[in-house]
Amino acid sequence: MRDSKHRSIADALVMFWIKLKSNLSYSQIGTLFNYDLSSEDRRKRVSKACDGIQHALLTHFVPRFLGLGHLNRSTLLSHHTSYSKIFFGGGACLIWDGTYLYINKSSDHLLQKQTYSGQKKRHLVKMMSITLPDGYVLDTIGPYAGTKNDATIAHHITKVNEQLQQWCEPEDVAIVDRGFDRVREVFEDMGLEIGPHVKIVTAALNCFRPPIFQSSDPKKEEKLARIIKARAKANNQLQTTVEKKPLNSRCKWEQIDETQIDFPRMSEDQLRELCFGVYQIKQARTYAEAHLNKNDGDYQLEVTKNSDTIIRCKIDSRHSGATQYYCWIEYTMDDIYPSDSDSDDDDDLLAAKFYEKQPIKA
């Protein structure tokens, strides 16, 4: 692409990004650049400039920062995090997830049917993104009709994309949600336990944006990942206690406002350690607000005479108004001292020491 007498390459690039960012009409963008032309002529000039930039970016820019072939194997593996290495081993770790772009209702009846999503109750098109553990986007594929679910799209991609089939190796891992159950066999057979604008934007993010996940303390993160992995495989001791003793729903429970109990106060650092990060802590505020508004400040916590160290709470589902969950919490008021766990301990021992030093267990 070259400069012309009507605009420079820089002007054309700015027009293109204004269009993507604001979705102004081509005629309106032409007004911003002081084109003293009729509305139709402004539209044509800006449209031609944007088409030229789009073609240039797709040809020269996108292939350098997006697509299965733009990273070699060693570079791809460098996008691992401490957690993904511990959880899934040293192979490539590909995270599959669908995203969508809302569109206006079309006057074309067939297109209108193909783009209407019964789940979102809106018209949209879908893209499938394949990302790496630190947030780097390996590839984005699409668009697909809004009527297609993630599993159907992934199944189509794995069948028609020969490059993807050749690229994957037996030790590679694909991370998907439960909606992908129908394509699990396809992933295993491959050796695995968006349109132009979306591709351009994604390539630009890969080029200019730093990784979403940046390690601050690799040794601490690796240790935490080992604990999480071991705890995920371990038996829940509190669950065993609840199931063996008369602490289920048939037991008599009294609300907390009728009984005085002491409960440990935990620092923010202790809470982060207990929850393996801040995600659950951030969720706690919205859960609390929902219950406090519903019950006029009465959060339903219960105790029983059968145990002095276990309480039970009732929590409403955030997805369904008719669903409630019971959560049992075991606690101690004894002083808890940091354990002597060492990074050289095996995973099970490390997890056991971590579990024992927690003042509360759920």
Instruction: Annotate 17-30 with DSSP letters as a single string.
Output: HHHHHH---HHHHH
Of the ranges 32-46, 204-218, 321-335, 342-356, which one carries the lowest mean pLDDT score? 342-356
Average pLDDT for residues 217-242, to the nearest whole number? 80
Output 280 or 339, whichever has higher pLDDT.
280
Same domain, 137 and 180: yes
pLDDT tier for residue 293 given thresholds of 50, 70 and 90: low
pLDDT at 358: 59
pLDDT at 16: 92
Say yes or no to pLDDT of 250 above 70: no
pLDDT at 64: 92
Say yes or no to pLDDT of 38 above 70: yes
pLDDT tier for residue 348 given thresholds of 50, 70 and 90: low
Same domain, 315 and 201: no
pLDDT at 155: 79
Same domain, 16 and 60: yes
Cα separation, 209 vs 152, in Å, equals 31
Segments of the chain assigned E as strands: 93-102, 116-117, 122-131, 137-145, 173-175, 254-255, 301-303, 310-316, 324-331, 360-361
pLDDT at 342: 53
CB-count burial class (<10 Å; 0-12, 13-18, 19+) for 357: middle
pLDDT tier for residue 101 given thresholds of 50, 70 and 90: confident
Range of the domain at 252: 218-361
Residue 3, domain member (yes or no): no
CB-count burial class (<10 Å; 0-12, 13-18, 19+) for 135: middle
Biggest alpha carbon–alpha carbon distance for the chain: 87
Residue 2, domain member (yes or no): no
Residue 42, domain member (yes or no): yes
Pairing of strands 173-175, 93-102: parallel
pLDDT at 194: 52
Same domain, 241 and 224: yes
Same domain, 26 and 97: no
Q: Are 199 and 58 in contact (CB under 8 A)?
A: yes
- DSSP state letter for 176: -
Same domain, 246 and 115: no
- The total domain count for the chain is 3
Same domain, 106 and 171: yes
Residue 304, domain member (yes or no): yes
Residue 213, domain member (yes or no): no
Residue 195, domain member (yes or no): yes
Same domain, 262 and 351: yes
Two tokens at 184?
């699990």
pLDDT tier for residue 105 given thresholds of 50, 70 and 90: confident
pLDDT digits (tens, 9 = 90+) for 148-160: 877 788 878 877 7
Same domain, 163 and 239: no
Same domain, 196 and 253: no
Same domain, 116 and 226: no
**Average pLDDT along the chain:** 78
Of the ranges 231-245, 290-304, 329-343, which one carries the lowest mean pLDDT score? 329-343
Residue 4, domain member (yes or no): no
Same domain, 192 and 224: no
CB-count burial class (<10 Å; 0-12, 13-18, 19+) for 268: exposed
Residue 104, domain member (yes or no): yes
Average pLDDT for residues 108-116, to the nearest whole number? 81
